[in-house]
């Protein structure tokens, strides 16, 4: 009888060990959603929403969230007729913006979520007939820092070759300052373009909220029109937020490849007069044969950064230093 009890205890312990999540992963309730995947180390937490659109709900350093969330989207699910909250938060998408078919199944449909390894999560979309693709998003949080690798893979599940690009569309907390390096040569006379609401693109925009300083374009407020485009090959930009966080996004740029947005952008920033700013690395055109796939990785980091007082200029040199990876 004692041996039977010992056997049952061992079986229970084995079952518990088998069910225990990988290190640095858990399931939490957040922003009206149950069973969200969380990745967490001593300083940083990432919370992911697979219920609608495969989004990032939290990317926080010491409890301060860099992601802007519209409360109208709390618990928003596919089929909700109130569209105000659809797609809030840390969104990721595919483009090109002007020619891709509408794809609500990818943008706001249900995804699956798993934690295949320590500090790692995977979100997988449904197969989408409109675009012919399925999307996979892998998130890997460093065990000892805020560094988060975000990889989106586009799988062609159709019977024909498709052409798309990676398009990140994450909302950061509004009212901050973007610092984006310029590189030469640039196709744009003023190193950026501005999209008008009617779709026209200003090739020589001038705006008091956009200045060239120390080799970087500095955007310190809502410009005349919110959508801005850049062809920088630097492969990074920083966004300093009023909550004293600096969000740096690093990503590969391929100067010899085709970028198939209308203006051939490598980065877009959408800065409206609203409580969020959209931070958008853009990947090159991927020509994907049936059964093949293409991936693009962004590396995110958060750092403490004292936001400048009203009327004070941002310290561009400090942002450059903080944006440079440690050797």
Residue 214 tokens read as: 């120390």
Question: Residue 161: how many CA atoms within 13 Å on its side-chain side?
Answer: 6
pLDDT of residue 3: 62
Confidence of residue 261 (pLDDT cuts 50, 70, 90): very high
pLDDT of 287-319, one tens digit each? 999 999 999 999 999 999 999 998 899 999 999
Cβ–Cβ under 8 Å, residues 247 and 172: yes
CA atoms of 75 and 52, how far apart (whole Å): 9
| Structural domain contains residue 8 | no
Cα→Cα distances 129→95, 158, 243, Å: 16, 8, 41
Percent of the chain with pLDDT over 90: 89
Phi, psi angle pair for 136, to nearest 5°:
-125, 130
Could you list the residue range(s) of the whole structural domain that residue 188 is in?
Answer: 22-323
Where in 68-202 does DSSP place strands (E)? 90-95, 112-117, 120-124, 133-141, 148-156, 162-173, 177-181, 193-195, 201-202
Mean pLDDT of 61-76: 96
Predicted TM-score (pTM) of this structure? 0.93
Confidence of residue 15 (pLDDT cuts 50, 70, 90): low
| Structural domain contains residue 233 | yes
- Average pLDDT of the chain to the nearest whole number: 94
Cβ–Cβ under 8 Å, residues 121 and 138: yes
Q: How far is C-alpha 54 from the geometric centre of its chain's CA atoms?
A: 11
For the cut 90, the answer to whether the pLDDT of residue 12 exceeds it is no
pLDDT of residue 81: 82
Cβ–Cβ under 8 Å, residues 53 and 107: yes
| Structural domain contains residue 314 | yes
Cβ–Cβ under 8 Å, residues 281 and 268: no
| Structural domain contains residue 17 | no
Strand partners, 216: 181, 213
Mean pLDDT of 58-75: 97
Percent of the chain with pLDDT over 70: 94
Token pair 């959508």: residue: 227
Q: Which of 7-16, 75-84, 177-186 has the highest mean pLDDT?
A: 177-186
In 3-state terms, what secondary structure has residue 17?
Answer: helix
pLDDT of residue 54: 98
For the cut 90, the answer to whether the pLDDT of residue 4 exceeds it is no
pLDDT of 31-50, one tens digit each? 999 999 999 999 999 999 99
Confidence of residue 133 (pLDDT cuts 50, 70, 90): very high
| Structural domain contains residue 9 | no
For the cut 90, the answer to whether the pLDDT of residue 86 exceeds it is no
Q: What is the number of structural domains in the chain? A: 1
pLDDT of residue 16: 47
| Structural domain contains residue 210 | yes
Could you say which DSSP state residue 134 is in? Answer: E
Rounded to 10 degrees, what is the CA torsion of 205, 213, 317, 178?
Answer: -20
| Structural domain contains residue 207 | yes
| Structural domain contains residue 5 | no
Helix ranges restricted to H, 23-116: 104-108
CB neighbour burial string for 7-27, b if at least 16 within 10 angstroms, e if fewer: eeeeeeeeeeeeeeeeebbee
Cβ–Cβ under 8 Å, residues 218 and 177: yes
> Domain holding 311: CATH number?
2.70.98.10
Residue 191 tokens read as: 């190193």
Question: Residue 247: how many CA atoms within 13 Å on its side-chain side?
Answer: 30
CB neighbour burial string for 194-232, b if at least 16 within 10 angstroms, e if fewer: bbeeeeeebeebebeebeeeeebbbbbebbebbbbbbbb
């Amino acid at each position: 009888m004692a041996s039977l009890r010992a056997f049952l205890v061992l079986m229970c312990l084995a079952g518990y060990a088998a069910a225990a999540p990988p290190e640095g992963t858990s399931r939490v309730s957040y922003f009206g959603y149950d069973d969200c995947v969380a990745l967490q180390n001593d300083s940083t937490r990432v919370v992911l929403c697979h219920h609608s659109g495969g989004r990032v709900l939290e990317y926080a350093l010491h409890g301060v969230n860099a992601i802007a969330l519209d409360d109208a989207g709390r618990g928003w699910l596919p089929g909700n007729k109130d569209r105000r909250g659809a797609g809030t938060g840390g969104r990721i998408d595919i483009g090109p913006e002007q020619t891709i078919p509408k794809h609500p199944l990818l943008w706001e449909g249900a995804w699956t979520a798993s934690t295949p390894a320590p500090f790692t999560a995977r979100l997988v979309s449904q197969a989408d007939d409109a675009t012919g693709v399925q999307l996979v998003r892998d998130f890997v949080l460093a065990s000892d820092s805020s560094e988060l690798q975000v990889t989106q893979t586009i799988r062609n599940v159709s019977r024909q070759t498709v052409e798309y690009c990676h398009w990140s569309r994450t909302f950061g907390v509004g009212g901050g300052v973007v610092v984006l390096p310029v590189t030469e040569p640039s196709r744009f006379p003023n190193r950026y373009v501005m999209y008008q609401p009617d779709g026209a693109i200003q090739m020589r925009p001038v705006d008091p909220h956009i200045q060239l300083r120390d080799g970087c374009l500095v955007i310190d407020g809502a410009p005349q029109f919110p959508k801005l485009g850049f062809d920088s090959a630097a492969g990074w930009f920083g966004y300093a937020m009023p909550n004293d966080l600096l969000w740096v996004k690093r990503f590969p740029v391929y100067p010899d490849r085709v970028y198939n947005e209308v203006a051939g952008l490598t980065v877009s920033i959408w800065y409206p007069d609203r409580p969020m700013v959209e931070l958008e690395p853009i990947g090159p055109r991927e020509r994907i044969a049936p059964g093949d796939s293409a991936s693009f990785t962004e590396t995110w980091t958060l750092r403490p950064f004292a936001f400048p007082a009203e009327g004070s200029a941002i310290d561009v040199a400090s942002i450059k230093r903080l944006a440079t990876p440690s050797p």
